Structure 1
């Protein structure tokens, strides 16, 4: 009887979990689709390439979507079983709350193991391929879209102008570049007699970058502040990064393209370098914050899957027949609180104030405590 109940509960959980995962991935995907469509229209990209890009993005969003799916699928399953009085029937056969939770726990452990495996190699490889394809498509457009006597503004924050353009945009004369505000730099202006577009392939990542090699020119930088400091630099040769693609590749960082072992090596190398430079503890944390957040988040995501199923269990079971509660509202309030604390911690970690490991695991530890408290309060004859 118990094994039959386990199979029945697992079967009821699978369909909502798959559908909710598809929904959350599709929801997250919409934010990137608009940017992909822009590239498709302007560059004339084939639909096979578009579908490949969509597939790579979808895979990248799985670690974000799956924990949410675990929570809402568990709540939906147990709400439905409670409404149909199936939970009451199981209780009448002497099924304890732990035995009822066990199939969900096993499912969570299996899902967490799959996510951990995907995060190690598959998702980094997918992000690398995605960024590679986007830059390849947009960099090809750079070579043909620059015209003589016309302003080129496809690269975010950069305006480029050339009096003469030859060899389909590869060679330019009398080049003017204006770069918009970044940090305390209010404006940067570059003027050169000649310029040539060159493509550089990163040997480690296989991701191409386009640079504008300038000759015989001047760089003028204007900084913010009351003094309005201006810096002037003369150069004979200067490489200006010109890779386009915009915000579409911002969610794909170099840390995101590394395997777990490579992230650990990067963290260790950063710590060694900080010791050599005799940096303070805060400066050391700040230097490796992004890498550590990426690494610890990959460790935390499988734990999240089990945790969110546990919380879905305590939120989803109704306290007796006829009693109702707004389980979706409680789950949404929990998620908002969880991620508000997490992102607040991320901002502190990037400033070197809070250790990235504490930032990542603090909301999880607090949520485990909340889950245990609610589990003990369940109206259940154990």
Structure 2
């Protein structure tokens, strides 16, 4: 059983953690909010749907916001208790560092377990529902906003033009599509005599998709490579995917919509495909990098909560009234270093240079070393 002082520390941690979590989720939410409102206003839907979409996104931001909340809540709690000399009083009747740290550690373990549980099923289900709703909303625009003789640019990176449009875009003639390329592909131009918008539903995700079924046309691809700068393909039938909404739709990936067990199965299937295709080790890592990053990040988040609480504890305790240290500055330096190493590693992992688990766990291990150093250095005798 925790002593009264330890329960007191845990209770003092709850309020700043809750407020920090709300702040970070709201902060991250603002980056998507304007895009969602733009879609909702342009499609003329009810505002209740806006709050539903915001709720789905807010849930998906929890794994990112929780570790940050653990760090700043721990620092704030210990700063306040130190300034009020409550830490000194606790030390005076024999509480050791480990006993003071115990309630924060238990809180971090509980929070980490909750986040891991949410990451397994709740968040993937929420992301699936979010993408489902966005596609339904934007598909309305695809069906009604395509006008004959006018350029349609609602789909990110795609320009569509048709000489004749019948039945609100469900049938088109003399279709022209220009799509921005990625990587070595500069652009892709598709022309067809006829086109028809069709809705499809992915059985795995239950997410609708809109495709433009084209007949009797050509595909011209332009590459950066000077040896093969053009490629022309003739087709009788071709399905061109359409999904408006821009970056909002790209916010949710297929890997983010999978449960942990589904991610593991996908990795096993990708490994099997790589062996059958006799891909190199680096190409194999590239093909599975996003899926592995998603899986290892979910495993790392609970550990990250514990490590950030350790860092916050080591930096949060002051030496007494009037003897302060720049805990916020140090915490910010730790965070900047952590995410700089992480995002640099992500770029390397996607190129197949570094394994995904190394990328995910390296900054956490380094943060744990920093937290352990300051914890050991904490002068408990003075």
- Superposition TM-score, scaled by structure 1 size: 0.98
Indicate conservation of the 8 Å contact 1:96/1:381, yes or no: no
How do 1:112-261 residues align onto structure 2 when only pairs under 5 Å count?
112-226=112-226, 229-261=229-261
**Is the 1:180–1:188 contact (alpha carbons within 8 Å) kept by the matching residues of 2?**
yes
Structure 1 unpaired stretches of 5+? none
**Greater alpha carbon shift after TM alignment, 298-307 vs 321-330:** 321-330
Match of 1:109 in 2: 109
CA contact (8 A) 1:191 1:217 kept: yes
Q: CA deviation at 1:227?
A: 5.1
Aligned match of 2:269: 269
Q: Match of 2:100?
A: 100
Within a 5 Å distance, the mapping from 1:304-319 to structure 2 comes to 304-319=304-319
Give the distance between the partners of 1:278 and 1:188, measured in 2 at CA.
29
Q: Paired residue for 1:375?
A: 375
The separation in 2 between residues aligned to 1:146 and 1:265, in whole angstroms, is: 40
Q: 5+ unaligned residues in a row in structure 2: which ranges?
A: none
Counterparts of 2:38 and 2:134, CA distance in 1? 12
CA distance in 2, matches of 1:45, 1:360: 40
Query: Residue 3 of structure 2 aligns to a residue in which SS?
Result: helix
Distance 1:245 1:174 in 2: 25
Aligned to 1:72: 72
The alignment status of 1:61 with 2:55, answered yes or no, reads no
In structure 2, distance between residues paired with 1:202 and 1:242: 14
Contact map agreement 2:25 2:62 (CA 8 A) in 1: yes
Matches within 5 A, 1:333-344: 333-344=333-344
- For 1:286 and 1:185, how far apart are their aligned partners in 2? 18
Find the counterpart in structure 1 of residue 349 from structure 2.
349
Question: How much has 1:220 moved relative to structure 2?
Answer: 1.5
Distance in 1 (alpha carbons) for counterparts of 2:176 and 2:348: 39
Of 178-187 and 4-13, more deviation after overlay is shown by 178-187
Partner SS, residue 155 of structure 2? coil
Deviation at 1:281, TM superposition (A): 1.4
Q: Which moved more, 1:227-236 or 1:81-90?
A: 227-236
Structure 1 residue runs of 4 or more that deviate by more than 3 Å after TM superposition: 225-228
- Give distance in 2, aligned partners of 1:54 and 1:360: 28
What CA distance in whole angstroms lies between the structure 2 residues aligned with 1:147 and 1:381?
77
Aligned residues: 382
Report the CA distance between 1:381 and its aligned residue. 3.4
1:2: Cα distance to partner?
6.4
Across the aligned residues of Structure 1 and Structure 2, the Cα RMSD in angstroms comes to: 1.4
Aligned to 1:291: 291
When normalised by structure 2's length, the TM-score is 0.98
